[in-house]
Chains A and B, each alone.
Chain A
């Protein structure tokens, strides 16, 4: 990839559009020269290339670093609040012609400012575009992700070794050079891919470590639980099977009994039994009724007997009562108390005087002793009315005794008849194997109950099995999850181990590759340095240490890297850069500003003589001042110069003329 064209618009001193073209087609001529006086755009051109690729500037001295990137002349010409654009475009050719074009634009706007009349403000981000010639060579196509394209093909990290300022070359041996050398070697060796792989492997290993779930502490108990559940399910299934067999056996038994009962006319037996039961129930009722009647009879007999045997006394009383009631003095006409007063006065109720111990006195005394004549009257009256009725009721009672006896006798007759019938039924049942049938019926009841028990057992066992299976399934899911996790963990551990082995292996390879290349570059650098520097024989040894620091040692082993002259430093830098360049897979031009500005003629001769050979077939662009381009330098390079460009300041236009 060779730089064929640079187009610069309003970039610092390059006012307007400026185009520099390099001839890349001349065979054997791989050097382009840009010649200019000091402060005539040589370093600006180097910076323009760098800015186009990476978006910043690398090579300005402190006095220029704060200056605007925008051409001051352009700013002055731009009205206030108007926009303006600075842009640099690079065209790279391959053997067929233009291949890539990279353009960076930055937009500014002029704004008023009391302190700075040329105040401009950047508008948005840089616009960087890339175009690539298609495969057929018929037209350019847009390169997507141009920054990535640049990072892959012209990485900024090693730009130090491709785009460089010879006068500042010594600065590359600063403190971070080790990193740059290491980075450069890694890039040259394409170790980046290996590093990427190692990083990816480490990230993967880290992911594996995080992914490990760890063994479940309850897994043992769970497994044991599942085994126990299996045993219990088996146990229940065995019991269920037994119960089902038992049920079938019992059903068969029941069928046999039913067949027997059917064949032994069970219906008749049952009818007899029902009849027997009905008669016995009737007997019980008759006995109860008979008992009631008997009690009534006994009561009646006793009552009648009492009455019969007291009849004489009652009649005597009745007779007396009639006598009293039929007498003249009944009911008594006077109160017993009044009679008592009459007795005291020895007077009769009729008013006559009565004599002592006379019948009249005796009657009056009795009358006086009667507590209450009204009560007496009432008792006598009640007894007179009731006692004959009592006597009369005796006949009724005796009549009722006869009736009750007849009734009781009827009950007894009925009971006897029933007993006879019961005896007959019993005889018939006996003749019909009733006892055996009863036993069979009882056996049937017993078997029926056994079937119900067995069916209940079957339900219990079935439910147990269902429940246990559900529990087992749940446990198995858990267990399978644990197993899966365990298997996954084991797989992860295995992968992690492989990953680590790969990391180790990759790092070993990387170290080997790095060492091989480093040794190679070290050897080439030493060779190149001896060729470039005319006093190189004074330096005993050129090395790149294991920590990637460059060193040049004298014959006594002393470190000379920081004591090199400008010329020696340039030669050493170029030696290392060319060595690196030769191992590099990057096909980019080498652009060196002031390659021999501060070195003596001897070195200049060596550089001019050897650099083209050391960088054979590589495009080299030297940005030189007229004073650098001495006759010696010119003599050795002239044959290999393909393009010579002169930059001159145009005081009229305020820009730079390119010729």
Chain B
């Protein structure tokens, strides 16, 4: 087990607003997410969409979505986004710092899931947009 795995094992779950759980459940069944890990990937996608649109939203009534360990090495993405926001190396030093970084991620994802839900009204278009966006770069 890598050092990051030991580190994040001390943090149990990533959370969402309870009222967003239905969106997660709906999106999981879409074809675009068939080959993914489900909730972890939808969460990360929501996170980057919220980040991209600069939108965060505090969780009003949080509930567990998945274990942090399910992110695997993608945990670096979450921690990096938290560090970039907080500018605090504690994110990588201790549990509290990491938890703070994940809170930032949860807020971005809480906003980003709404954006994703809207985009998913036209899934094929969404996919093409993503591809187009990626290939442009």
Contacts and interface: CB of A to CB of B under 8 A. Distances in A.
Nearest to B41: A302
B92 interface: yes
B41 to A, nearest CB: 6
B3 A310 contact: no
A379 B35 contact: no
B89 A320 contact: yes
Nearest to B77: A310
Contacts of A379: 3-4, 7, 92-93
Given A302-B32, A305-B133, A370-B94, 8 more contacts: A306-B47, A308-B133, A308-B137, A317-B76, A317-B79, A380-B92, A383-B92, A401-B135
Interface in A243-269: none
Contacts of A370: 93-94
Contacts of B6: 375
Contacts of B84: 312-313, 316-317
Interface in A370-394: 370-371, 375-376, 378-383, 386-387, 390
A390 B76 contact: yes
Contacts of B61: none
Interface stretch (A291-299, A352-360, A530-538): A291-299
Interface residues of A, number: 41
A286 interface: no
B4 A383 contact: yes
Nearest to A377: B3
A197 interface: no
A398 B52 contact: no
B60 interface: no
Interface string B81-108: 1011100010011100000000000000
A299 B81 contact: no
A579 B133 CA distance: 168
A305 B134 contact: yes
Contacts of B127: 298, 301
A639 interface: no
Q: How large is the interface on B (under 10, 10 to 19, 20 to 34, 35 or more residues)?
A: 35 or more
B23 interface: no
Contacts of B131: 301, 401, 405
Contacts of A302: 32-33, 36, 41, 44-45, 130
B135 A402 contact: yes
B26 interface: no
A313 B4 contact: no
A650 to B, nearest CB: 163
A318 B33 CA distance: 30
A631 interface: no
Nearest to B33: A298
A402 B137 CA distance: 13
A-B complex: 7 closest residue pairs judged by Cβ atoms: A295-B35, A309-B48, A313-B84, A378-B3, A299-B35, A317-B80, A316-B84
Contacts of B33: 298, 302
Contact of B41 (A299, A316, A320, A386): A299
A306 B77 contact: yes
Given A314-B76, A324-B89, A299 B36 contact: yes
B61 to A, nearest CB: 26
Given A306-B45, A316-B80, A301 B92 contact: no
Interface in B14-36: 31-36
A312 B84 CA distance: 8
Q: Most chain-A CB neighbours within 10 Å: which of B47, B49, B83?
A: B83
B13 to A, nearest CB: 20
A317 B7 contact: no
Given A302-B32, A306-B45, A398-B134, A376 B93 contact: yes
